[in-house]
Chains A and B, each alone.
With several copies, the nearest count.
Chain A
Amino acid sequence: MKKIYANATEALDGLLRDDMLIAAGGFGLCGIPELLLEAIKDSGVKNLTFASNNAGVDDFGIGILLQTGQVSKMMSSYVGENDEFMRQYLSGELEIEFNPQGTLAERMRAGGCGIPGFYTKTGVGTQVAEGKEHKDFNGETYIMEEGIFADLSIVKAWKADETGNCIFRKTARNFNPPAAMCGKVCVMEVEEIVPVGTLDPDHIHLPGIYVHRLIQGEHEKRIEQRTVRQKEGA
């Protein structure tokens, strides 16, 4: 079971093609697979659809693939931080399918769990519900949302062992587990690969079964909104 690759480019070798659907972890710039996104940019693959909560900022995260015009569609809940995104969207170059954040997360998890559809109250009576099947349960109306089955998952964890068992750190977990689950193949980048047996089996956030390829690398981990408070008396 050889899962460890030398770098992002090698880890993606043979997995990329035009027109594919990629599920990416991360929330804002927190916990994003920055090394894999860079390698996807370098690969030149195009017409990509991304299922990702956000689209990064202009020069980081998925934003770098918008700059190069490699993305044709986003499935996201919020893209407000990205000017280039807005320009492409308003000019019709880029398609967007807005998903409520929880619906997007659950659609990814559903895909990973073999569930092609589920019912939710989220979005009933809004634009999000248009064209979707409606069904009543106990007198309340729900809409059906479909599982996302991605061609590829790219995610970022904190530490993983050599079998891909991994742990995330604080709110950098976010969309990474559901995104990892819903891809036919999942490539993960981590800050540190540790020997098997290092991680407590009760602390694993995502078992290695979901992780097909693994790389370790240096992460910039850019902060999007640096907010602080003053020490009292300072």
Chain B
Amino acid sequence: MPWDRNQMAERAAQELEDGMYVNLGIGIPTLVANYVGDKDITLQSENGMLGMGPFPFEGEEDPDLINAGKQTITEMDRTAYFDSAQSFGMIRGGKIAAAILGAMEVAENGDLANWMIPGKLVKGMGGAMDLVAGVGRVIVVMDHTNKHGVSKLLKECTLPLTGAGVVDRIITNLGVLDVVEGGLKIVETAPDVSEDDLRAATEATLV
């Protein structure tokens, strides 16, 4: 049985090690925070915060305290605030150990597309290009195929890139794959998903 959203998030949480500073994207990646357990993980919000806490209780929302998705959040004992230049300085400078983010397409060479569909609504890349270029490890969490059943793991991306050759690992509802020399390598499959199932759903070269 393929993983659901929460199971994908739970699997992604296994990528995180004690002491890591991590940036989580919007969507499924946000759920990863629910599964870090006892591990001492510090979350960065790229609008200027390390040590991001959970959503506030009703009535305790602070307009001066939001995350990169513009949602109200809370601070923690370890929190530090800083400005956007400093925030992306630490991202670009490789101080963030890992980013977990969603994607529209990933290519077998690690190319990532997740910011723009030409001709459709153009919203902008936000901090995604900085994150994929700068952090230590880029982990993509996404459905293996789109709603039409077409593979999102491609030989080449068709959409404008967010970064070239930047993805390290992909966690989908069907399994876990690494970007290696020559293509993608299956690391693990979801329960009751066979490697053949996964191959059948994948356009990218599997090595």
Contact = CB atoms under 8 A, between A and B. Distances in A.
Indicate whether A and B are direct neighbours in the complex (CB within 8 Å): yes
Contact of A197 (B40, B44, B77): B77
Contact of B83 (A1, A174, A222): A174
Given A112-B89, A181-B89, A123 B65 contact: no
Interface of B: 18-19, 21, 40, 42, 44-51, 54-58, 60-67, 69-73, 75, 77-85, 87-96, 111, 116, 121-130, 133-134, 160-165
Interface residues of A, number: 78
Contact of B61 (A1, A122, A223): A223
Most buried by B among A31, A77, A171, A224: A171
B65 to A, nearest CB: 4
Contacts of B124: 76-80, 98
Given A121-B133, A174-B83, A201-B51, A29 B70 contact: yes
A204 B80 CA distance: 6
B78 A197 contact: yes
Nearest to B166: A125
Contacts of B121: 80, 86
Contacts of B61: 223, 226-228
A15 interface: no
Contacts of A104: 84
Nearest to A184: B94
B64 A171 contact: yes
Contact of B84 (A178, A196, A197, A229): A178
A12 to B, nearest CB: 19
Contacts of A28: 47, 66, 70
Interface stretch (A41-49, A65-73, A131-139, A205-213): A205-213
A28 B126 CA distance: 11
27 contacts: A2-B19, A27-B84, A30-B47, A31-B64, A78-B126, A80-B123, A102-B87, A103-B129, A104-B84, A105-B85, A111-B93, A114-B93, A122-B129, A125-B161, A125-B165, A126-B164, A168-B83, A171-B64, A173-B81, A174-B48, A175-B83, A207-B50, A208-B50, A221-B64, A223-B61, A227-B55, A227-B72
B81 A128 contact: no
A13 to B, nearest CB: 17
Interface of A: 1-2, 27-31, 53, 76-81, 86, 89, 96, 98, 100-106, 108-109, 111-115, 120-128, 158, 161, 163, 165, 168-178, 181, 196-197, 201-202, 204-205, 207-210, 221-231
A100 B84 CA distance: 12
Contact of B130 (A100, A158, A161, A207): A100
B47 A1 contact: no
Given A77-B125, A207-B50, A169 B64 contact: yes
